[in-house]
């Protein structure tokens, strides 16, 4: 299992570096998704399947969909169609596809060899996570939700196309 841990960690580091160095925001998002999936594999191998599932559902799922919609809102105009066609070339998807295939192979190997590795720690149930999030950390969770909503509203206003107002002249 240690080999799978190190491969997933290497994939996470490589995908994160590629996320930072990409100029195209769609390419950066693809590499960020691969990086988040690699971190989920690291959690799973370390014996934290619940945290791995949360990583996939919340970050690689919901947050990345939000980012993709924000990027889509910024690509307004007729020139964006030609740009999107240029993005859909096979070499665009080659890097994320190779890294995702490595992660998929690791998950298959882990599942075939008996699931998550057991560590000396205690098991944390979803009920315990919910109690921790919504009792002592309730204010932090609510503040994070307000920040996400503010980001979404800001992205909408930045990406909204406004029609020029006709000038009013007095006769």
Closest Cα partner for 67 from 97, 41, 28?
A: 28
Closest Cα partner for 129 from 38, 39, 58?
A: 58
The pLDDT of residue 150: 82
- The answer on pLDDT for 11 being more than 90 is yes
Strand, helix or coil for residue 122: coil
CA distance 93 to 96: 6
Do 34 and 2 meet the contact criterion of CB atoms below 8 Å apart? no
The pLDDT of residue 10: 92
Tell me the two tokens of residue 20: 């930072």
Do 36 and 59 meet the contact criterion of CB atoms below 8 Å apart? yes
pLDDT: is 150 or 34 the higher one? 34
Q: Which residue has the tokens 């980001």?
A: 151
Percentage of residues in the chain with pLDDT exceeding 90? 6
Q: Rounded mean pLDDT of the chain?
A: 78
Distances (CA, A) of 139 to 55, 68, 97, 106, 134: 21, 28, 39, 37, 8
Q: Kindly report, residue by residue over 34-56, the tens digit of the pLDDT.
A: 998 999 999 888 888 888 888 88
Q: Kindly report, residue by residue over 85-113, the tens digit of the pLDDT.
A: 676 777 777 888 888 888 888 888 887 88
Do 99 and 38 meet the contact criterion of CB atoms below 8 Å apart? yes
pLDDT: is 34 or 139 the higher one? 34
The pLDDT of residue 70: 74
Percentage of residues in the chain with pLDDT exceeding 70? 79
Tell me the two tokens of residue 47: 């014996």
Strand, helix or coil for residue 116: coil
């Amino acid at each position: 299992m240690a080999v799978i841990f190190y491969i997933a960690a290497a994939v996470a580091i490589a995908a994160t570096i590629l996320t930072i160095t990409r100029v195209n925001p769609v390419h950066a998002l693809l590499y960020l998704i691969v990086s988040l999936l690699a971190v989920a594999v690291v959690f799973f191998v370390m014996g934290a399947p619940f945290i791995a599932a949360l990583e996939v559902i919340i970050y690689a799922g919901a947050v990345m969909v939000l980012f993709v919609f924000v990027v889509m809102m910024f690509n307004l105009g007729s020139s964006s169609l030609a740009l999107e066609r240029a993005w859909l070339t096979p070499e665009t998807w080659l890097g994320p596809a190779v890294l995702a295939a490595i992660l998929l192979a690791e998950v298959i190997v882990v599942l075939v060899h008996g699931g998550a590795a057991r560590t000396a720690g205690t098991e944390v149930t979803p009920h315990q996570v919910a109690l921790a999030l919504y009792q002592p950390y309730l204010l932090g969770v609510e503040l994070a939700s307000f920040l996400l909503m503010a980001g979404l509203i800001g992205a909408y206003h930045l990406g909204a196309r406004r029609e020029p107002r006709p000038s009013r002249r007095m006769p």
